[in-house]
Amino acid sequence: MSSNRTYSMIKPHAVADNHVGGILKMIEEGGFRIVALKKLQMTASQAGEFYNVHAERPFYGELCEMMSEGPIVAMILEKENAVLDFRTLIGSTDPAEAAEGTVRKAYAKSKSENAVHGSDSDENAAIESSFFFSGIERF
């Protein structure tokens, strides 16, 4: 059964470039309600744990470095069909393939620095949300 919730984070390059407000505006106007929100910086080892599913991929080292180079904005978002609808809102991993009107089309710089993360399943949304947020941080 769907939780109607997904986990997202605004990646370090987009936070550093002052795009937090612009991205949150697209998310809220896209019909998502913010359940939890905070700014924090991951260590490379925490980024490695978060992206452990990609440990064998050639870009894993670069990914962990990029995700820990500065603060991120972490959030839990709620909407009917949240996981799929959020991936539609953010667009393709590679900004060259991201559709017009998507967050990545507007704010991604490359396939690596692609502005935002979005969970890929309800199961991972729950795991990823609990990696960053306790129960009393969710409203």
Active centre residues (catalytic): 117
Among 63, 72, 77, 103, interactor with ligand ATP by CB under 6 A: 63
Residues 101-120 that bind Mg ion (CB under 5 A): 120
122 and 79 in contact (C-beta within 8 Å)? no
Under the binding rule (CB under 6 A), the answer on residue 59 touching ligand ATP is: yes
Q: How many residues bind Mg ion (CB under 5 A)?
A: 1
CB atoms within 10 A of CB 69: 17
CA pair distance 95, 61, nearest whole angstrom: 21
Q: Which does 118 bind (CB under 5 to 8 A by kind): Mg ion, ligand ATP, none?
A: ligand ATP
Task: Tell me the HSE value of 70 on the side-chain side, using a 13 A CA sphere.
Answer: 11
Q: How far is CA 45 from the centre of its chain?
A: 18
CA pair distance 106, 114, nearest whole angstrom: 10
Site string for ligand ATP, 13-52 (x = CB under 6 A): ----------------------------------------
2 and 82 in contact (C-beta within 8 Å)? yes
Pick 29 or 56: Cβ nearer Mg ion: 56
Binding site for Mg ion (CB under 5 A): 120
User: Which residue ranges make up the site for ligand ATP (CB under 6 A)?
Assistant: 54, 59, 62-63, 93, 111-112, 114, 117-118, 120
